[in-house]
Structure 1
Amino acid sequence: MEQQAVQLDRETFSCSICLDLLKDPVTIPCGHSYCMDCIKAHWDEEDQKRVHSCPQCRKTFTQRPVLQKNTMLAALAEQLKKTGLQVAPADHCYAGPEDVACDVCSGRKLKAIKSCLACPASYCEKHLQPHYEVAPLKKHKLVEPTKNLQENICSQHDEVMKMYCRKDRKCICYLCPVDYHKGHDTVSAAAERTERQKELDERRGKIQQMIKDKDKDVKLLQQETEDINVSADKTVKESEKIFTELIRLLRKRSSEVKQQIRSKQETEVSRVKDVQEKLEQEIRELKRKDAELEQLSNIEDHIQFLLNYPSLPALRETEHTSIINIRPLRHFEDVTAAVSELSEKLQDILKDPWTNIELSFTEVDVLLSEPGPKSRAGFLKYSCEIILDSNKADTQLTRTNQRQSNSGYYINQSYSSGSGSFTGCYQFLSRESLPERCYWEVKWEGQQVYVAVAYKNTRREENEYDRSWALVCSSSYENNYFKFVHDKFQTYISGPHSSRVGVYLDHRAGILSFYRVSETMTLLHRVQTKFTEPLHAGVWVSKAEDFAVFYKPQ
Structure 2
Amino acid sequence: MASSSGVVSEEQLLCCICLDVFTDPVSTSCGHNFCKKCLGGYWDNSDHWHCPLCNKSFENRPDLSVNTFISETAAQFRKSAELNASSSAEDSPSKLTKVLCDACTGVKKKAVKFCLNCGASYCGTHLEPHKNIQILQKHKFIDPVENLQDYICKKHERPLELFCRDDQTCVCLFCTVTDHKSHNTVPIEEESGELKAQLKKTQIEVQKRIQDRLEKTEEIKQSLELSKKSTEDEIAGGVEVFTALICSIERRQAELLGVMEEEQKAAERQAEHLIKELEQEITELKRRDTELEQLSHTEDHLHLLQISPSLCRPPHTNNWTDISLNTNSSVEILRRSLSQLQKTINNETEKEIQKLKQRKQKEATAFKWFIKNWTQLVLLLPLLPLVFLMLMSNKMWIQFYAVDVTLDPDTANRFLILSDDGKQLRCTNLPRNVLYSSKRFFSEPYVLAKEGFSSGRFYYEVQVGDKTDWVIGVAEESVDRFEEFPDGTWTIALWNSNKYKACEGSCKSLSMRKKPQKVGVFVDYEEGLVSFYDVEARSHIYTFTGQSFTKKLYPFLSPCHVLLEHGNSAPLIISKEYQSYTWTVFQKIGLF
- TM-score, structure 2 as length reference: 0.33
TM-score scaled to structure 1, two decimals? Answer: 0.35
- Bigger Rg over Cα: 1
